[in-house]
Amino acid sequence: MKHIKLAVLATAVAALATTALAADKFPSKTIEVVTHAGAGGGTDVNSRMMMLRARRELKTDMVVVNKRGGPSGALAMKYFQERPADGYTIMTWTNGHALTMALGKSDLKIEDMRPIARGTNDPQVLMVNCKTSAYKNSDEFLAGARTTKLKYGTTNIGGLDHITAYMFAKRAGGPQPAIVPFKGGGELATQLVAGSIDVGVLNLSEASAQIEAGDICPMVVLDTQRMAPIPNVKTAQEMGVDVVFATVRGFVTHAKVSDADAAVLEKGLLKAMDHSIYQAYLQSSGLDKTSVLGAADWGKQMKQLMTDLVPAAKEMGLVK
């Protein structure tokens, strides 16, 4: 009988030890992915596409938490700040969040976040009407932008598109353009075709149908490298204009999350976004596998984005 009791006790101790180990293994509960977009918005869709495989890679459930309200991303960032720094909250951080931070409309600082991985990098592209524009290639466009006050279409005044147009003109050494704001990229592309503006500040995916139809022609890519779908279009940098702006979406957690847990998150997300399902999503948006970056490079881009946006916003009088 004594032997039986000892055996039962040993079994119970082993079970408790196994349970404790399981509880300590990260992740062991649901991970929240916070976005500032409503259901079906670009950032919401990007988050859900990442999560399709990340759930399997991390072996835990993941749910989207949509927090809309305030300046772009402000409510989402506030919610993120209030969550425990235990690795179970991930935020999808974008250039919209960066601009909100640069304008001083959020208490969140770049030092409060720990980069995990980038999901998309959708460069800003300056485009013209193929049929009516005097510019037929990148070099002609740059020459014209340096001597002519052009009418640029952007989404909103004071947003990333507006800052993009301002910085390109400034660093190209040309006159500041007249800005015509629109509600979204779709309307902007339509008005560029209609001839209401000279230049559209767009992402490739926003004008893909018009480009394919031969109505809109990309002129300058504001990234460090050319884009595969439009290989003949030069970057601003290779023409001597140091401007890099893109619509970026990447994932961050709290800065105080441990190195070990952050590494688990990074490995899981990178593997998930390397899967054919996520890669097909990128291709459907006119992007490719270079959109996906690990924590180190994504962190560098986040800091660079803040470095570029803060002085630009001050120069433009958007923030004191």
pLDDT digits (tens, 9 = 90+) for 298-314: 999 999 888 888 888 88
Residue 305: which CATH number? 3.40.190.150
Q: Does pLDDT of 227 surpass 60? A: yes
Within the chain, strands assigned E span: 31-35, 62-66, 89-94, 113-129, 151-155, 178-182, 199-203, 216-222, 246-254
Residues 282 and 211 in one domain: no
> Residue 158's domain spans which residues?
122-239
User: Residue 3: CB partners within 8 Å, gap ≥ 6?
Assistant: none
Are 225 and 262 within one domain?
no
Rounded Cα–Cα distance for residues 271 and 172 (Å): 40
Indicate whether 97 and 145 sit together in one domain. Answer: no
| pLDDT the model gives residue 18 | 44
Confidence label for 78 from pLDDT (cuts 50, 70 and 90): very high
Q: Are residues 114 and 132 in the same domain?
A: no
Q: Number of structural domains, the chain? A: 2
Banded model confidence at residue 205, pLDDT cuts 50, 70, 90 = confident
- The CATH number of residue 223's host domain is 3.40.190.10
